[in-house]
Amino acid sequence: MATDTDIAVAAHYAAYPYPARNPADEAKRLIEGSPSRLAEIEHYLFDGRLPEPFRALVAGGGSGDATIMLAQHMADRKLAGEVVWLDLSPAARAVAEARAAARGLTNIRFVEGSLLDAEAAVGGGFDYVDCCGVLHHLAAPEAGLAALRAVLKATGGLGVMVYGAIGRRGVYDMQALGDVLAPQSLPPAERLAVGRRLFADLPPSHWLKRNPFVRDHLDGGDAGFYDLLLHARDRAYTVPEFVALATSAGLEIVSFIEPALYDPAAYLRDPKLKAKAAALPPLAQAAMAEQIAGMLTKHVAYLAPDARRPAAPDDPGLIPILRDGDGPALAGALRSGRIVAKHMGVEIAIPVPKLAPAMVRRIDGERTLGEIAEDLRQADAALNWPKFQAAFQDTFQALHRLNLIWLRRP
């Protein structure tokens, strides 16, 4: 039987499908992100080679971002299979279907239903399950993740996003105020109007006004404001809590995205402190990094039902893939001897070897590591495979920490 909170959540998404999307925009751009880029899935979960046909479930598909991205990537690669969109919201389905139609995508199946009943709704045997921004809205997230684990092949994996507790400071104070001044029993439009007045009236001392890391209420229109600050059921996770959630379903974390964000060394400068942090187990390091950074508003990770590892650059037949696809541009950024990235105002700088620009310039998504090594050897006969591999390994690790590079098998 539906609870009052269930009814409020359903009314929310009927009024404000999330995220707000205009199907006409599909002619201008493809929205891409993590998890669920196809090459990213291939690298982190399948050692560089996807199964074919490839079956993916997007659980809690909403207005279609992950569904459209994954289906388009599969179509571009002419990869046989299907993407199944599963969600409770007819309004969100209408948006997602219109977006698919605008792109002419025919490899998507739309099913209305709860992810808690995924096996009954869509069957099993999925190679991949995307669940982005959904589990934290369930009354029982553990039950939701267990239901998704049940439809996954033993060789499959998941891409998951949940909210980060520390980075969302102020959000839940605002939600609590909204529950009092704009009760969940009110129609969504009335709640939104009260919520906007309340946010405008908050003093600058309120944690939400002081938190620069959450912006959906500022940039996401009515749907973004409502989803962030007026959601009827919403929780966030610290790293240890997220690990416990994964473990409850018999799943292990393959990698957080981006890995560098979960490394205390990305933030600490004191060598003695860095050494102490580096001595901790990997998941303890990740928890410490979250506490130090203070700005992780979400946790994105790939999960698997076994102790899986991402593909590693140990085979000359592997093809390196750059996330943004522009080898010459990235090579130019590496001439300083380091790769620099900014996340939520925090600068992360990672050194790269001298040979990095020359190697990265030759990455085009088609050439193998062996072919790149041979091309470089034409200019330097002393650059044999072991020397190339050592330099590429260091370059790869630097870029991989920022999720800028993946590996694919031909």
Per-residue pLDDT at 191: 97
| Residue 112 burial by Cβ neighbours in a 10 Å radius (0-12, 13-18, 19+) | middle
CA-CA distance, 167 to 294, in Å (whole number)?
5
Per-residue pLDDT at 175: 97
- Cα first-last separation, the chain: 50
CA dist 192 → 180, 224, 253 (Å): 13, 11, 37
- Number of C-alpha atoms within 13 angstroms, CB side, residue 125? 8
CB 262 within 8 A of CB 286: yes
Residue 107 main-chain phi, psi, to 5 deg: -105, 25
CA-CA distance, 252 to 301, in Å (whole number)?
10
CA-CA distance, 210 to 294, in Å (whole number)?
13
Q: In what order do the strands lie in the sheet with 298-304?
A: 108-112, 81-87, 54-59, 126-132, 152-163, 298-304, 252-257
Q: Which domains does the chain have, with CATH numbers?
A: 21-166+237-304 (3.40.50.150), 319-408 (1.10.10)
- 3-state secondary structure string, the chain? CCCHHHHHHHHHHHHCCCCCCCHHHHHCCCCCCCCCCHHHHHHHHCCCCCCCCEEEEEECCCCCHHHHHHHHHHHHCCCCEEEEEEECCHHHHHHHHHHHHHHCCCCEEEEECCHHHHHHHHCCCEEEEEEECCHHHCCCHHHHHHHHHHCEEEEEEEEEEEEECCCCCCHHHHHHHHHHHCCCCCCHHHHHHHHHHHHHHCCCCCHHHHCCCCCHHHHCHHHHHHHHHCCCCCCCECHHHHHHHHHHCCCEEEEEECHHHHCHHHCCCCHHHHHHHHCCCHHHHHHHHHHHHCCCCEEEEEEECCCCCCCCCCCCCCEEEECCCCHHHHHHHCCCCEEEEEECCEEEEEECCCCHHHHHHCCCCCCCHHHHHHHHHCCCCCCCHHHHHHHHHHHHHHHHCCCCEEEECC
CB 38 within 8 A of CB 110: no
Per-residue pLDDT at 379: 87
- Mind listing the pLDDT tens digit of every residue in the chain (410 residues)? 789 999 999 999 999 999 999 999 999 999 999 999 999 999 999 999 999 999 999 999 999 999 999 999 999 999 999 999 999 999 999 999 999 999 999 999 999 999 999 999 999 999 999 999 999 999 999 999 999 999 999 999 999 999 999 999 999 999 999 999 999 999 999 999 999 999 999 999 999 999 999 999 999 999 999 999 999 999 999 999 999 999 999 999 999 999 999 999 999 999 999 999 999 999 999 999 999 999 999 999 999 999 999 999 999 999 999 999 999 999 999 999 999 999 998 999 999 999 999 999 999 999 999 999 999 999 898 999 999 999 999 999 999 999 999 999 99
